[in-house]
Structure 1
Amino acid sequence: MNDTKNFIMFGPKANCTLDLCPIEASVYSYRPSLAANISFAALFTIATFAHAYLGWRWKTPWFMWCMVLSCTHEVTGYVARILLWVNPWSFGAFITQIIAITQAPVFYCAAIYVTLGQSIEHYGPSLARFPTKYFAWVFVPMDIVSLILQGTGGGLSASSSGASQVGVDVAMAGLILQVIMLVSFSILFGDYMFRYLRSTKSKTLGSRDKLFFGFLAIAVLATLARCIFRADELKEGYSGQLIKHEDLFIALEGVLIVVAVFCLFVAHPGLVFNRTPKVYYSVATGADTSYESGYPSKTAEPMSEALR
């Protein structure tokens, strides 16, 4: 069983099995936890349907589709990890979970970026240091670039049977870009909240509003911590030591993204903001976000209530 010189242990032609090769000869050097991966797949499946329902209930298509895409990517990734439990040498399952789980947060990050822009328009646009349309014009395109880099890196790894260091480097560049954007976003988010809480407008902040911002902040910080971990993990490539620690993967990938996705139930724009049919285009297009084209602010005229 320990003589593996006649076996291919990594790549699309891998022919090792649990009966023929030691688990230490697999890319992860461990057999993925069946219980953990089933749990994560189940949680993200629940989140998929829950976010789809909330999106339909509150008419928030942009937020809904971003969340659904993130959650379905997660489900796909963890199902692939279940297949790795069946056969730790399955290259198809390995590449599938690498691409799906790595890319998944990119989609809901786009939703978060736009949501903060909408939040500023709703709570106090005069306190922003620059027009809120830039949250969509800058952060979302960079999010797409990050997605493309991560997907391209995974594709290069797949086409080279995992031997391409270029694929690893490209995917890591996507993760690093995501970290940079999240750090920048966190600074802008924190700056706005600091200015808002020091203003007289904060006196109108209710408990639901506080929960909204609190859970939004938790989601952002959890995602940032996860991205830093994955970038650090990937810098060693698929033969590094960090990739061989499932406990770190479960805690700093699985748990943190579950926390972020479920926090976004509370930090859901439809649960807090006054809504109109055009609201999800206002920040992206830079249109006037009055009660006719976006979220009315806290200082909107009382007449807006009658027009909603």
Structure 2
Amino acid sequence: MGRDDYDLESAYGYTPTEWVTIVFIVVFAVSGAVHVGQAIWFKYWIVFPTIVIGIILELIGWAARYWSSQNVLYDPPFLQQIITLIIAPVFFSAWCYTILGLAINRLGQQYSALRPKWYLAIFITCDIISLVLQAVGGGWAASASDPIPKTPTNIMVGGIIFQLVSMVAFSSLALDFMIRATKKKAWKHRQSEESMVSASENATFAGANDNASWEEKEKEKGEINGWWIVLAGTAICSLMIIIRGVYRSVELVQGWNGYLISHEVYQDTLDGLPMSLAMIAVNILHPGFFLPKRRGWRNP
């Protein structure tokens, strides 16, 4: 049964639950405030054009759902939340691309299938294409009369699927880089340690140099471990974007009268919850906690 058939009063097919919308508004507001504080304190300026914009869109979307919980007969907040919540993860994925680029620059470009600049060029371009498709489809849908035509919906689906595929490709390349970098650097450490032992057995005055070299290697090991932790946060963020992308793709393929879009639990658990976990994971596993302190806004 279609949306207009079973609930003439609601564009959703239900009335959004007030307390749920408030919970997500609070979660994104707190996480966003923490992200801003971390960006300033740790000098990770890239947070502002990526995560911060995405969280602002999430807040607009969930505020619109709260608005609908107070006046479910009014259509504009329904369209507002659809557009903003669909677009927001594009900016979260841009953060993931940037962090991987920093990791490649620091640990070694020889371990990566692509150079950092190519990661940014390729995947940011994919994000822009995805963003344009979703914005065009969403804007068209918002301006269309009810029932919403299939063409703008298909354009939005295309944008989401495009983003989903690019995120899966990015995640695979990121995992490949970290595995190769860890294995190669671990092997280099073992060779260096064996050389140090041999040198210490044959040279009386090598102790000071050996200690310095040992400290340098231990520092490098610690930084590799730090990058693993940071990229674990990036992996969680990427996985949550993928989960949400699968849900949104199926939802819009079913159409505006489909089962998923007309049942609130799926929006809350397969969009709101994954995006909340993505942002909290980056808060907790932030690079500033686990990597060497940055000397300035532009310098690592």
Alignment of 1:57-206 (within 5 A): 57-162=41-146, 163-201=148-186, 204-205=221-222
CA distance in 1, matches of 2:51, 2:186: 30
Unaligned regions of 5+ residues in structure 1, if any? 1-8, 11-20, 280-293, 296-308
Contact 1:219 1:263 in 2 (8 A): yes
Q: CA deviation at 1:205?
A: 4.1
Q: TM-score, normalised by structure 1?
A: 0.79
- For 2:49 and 2:284, the matched residues in 1 are separated by 17
Question: What is the deviation of 1:244?
Answer: 1.4
Alpha-carbon deviation of 1:23?
4.8
1:50 aligns with 2:29: no
Measure the CA separation in 1 of the matches of 2:78 and 2:145: 11
Alignment coverage as a number of residue pairs:
263
Shift of 1:63: 2.1
1:201: Cα distance to partner? 4.4
Which residue of the partner structure matches residue 227 of structure 1? 245
Counterpart check, 1:216 vs 2:201: no
Query: CA 1:72 to 1:278, structure 2 compared with 1: closer, same or farther past 3 Å?
Result: closer
SS in 2 for 1:275: coil
Matched, 1:249 2:263: no
Q: Which has the higher contact order (CA 8 A, sep 6+)?
A: 2
Distance 1:93 1:273 in 2: 44
Supply the distance in 1 between the matched residues of 2:87 and 2:297 (Cα, whole angstroms).
29
Deviations 1:1-33 (A, max 9, x none): xxxxxxxx97xxxxxxxxxx9757523221111
1:275 aligns with 2:294: yes
Runs in 1 of length 4+ with deviation above 3 angstroms?
21-25, 205-210, 276-279
> What is the letter of the counterpart of residue 236 of structure 1?
Q
Secondary structure of 2:88's counterpart equals: helix
Task: Write out per-residue CA displacement over residues 184-237 of structure 1, whole angstroms, 9 at most, x where no aligned residue.
Answer: 101101111221232234861455433212222111111111111101111122
Question: Could you tell me the percent identity over the aligned residues?
Answer: 28
What's the secondary structure of 1:270's corresponding residue? helix
Equivalent residue for 2:277?
A: 259
Q: Give the stretch that moved more between structures: 160-169 or 187-196.
A: 160-169
Distance 1:214 1:278 in 2: 24
Give SS of 1:242's match: coil
Q: Which has the larger radius of gyration?
A: 2
Whichever residue aligns with residue 265 of structure 1, its letter is N
1: distance between equivalents of 2:285 and 2:104? 14
In angstroms, what is the RMSD of aligned CA positions? Answer: 2.2
* Alignment match, 1:239: 257
Contact 2:237 2:279 in 1 (8 A): yes
Aligned letter for 1:64?
F
Distance in 2, matches of 1:273 and 1:77, equals 36
Separation in structure 1 between the aligned mates of residue 142 and residue 80 of structure 2, nearest angstrom: 9
Q: What CA distance in whole angstroms lies between the structure 2 residues aligned with 1:236 and 1:84?
A: 22
SS at match of 2:13: coil
Match in the other structure for 1:29:
13
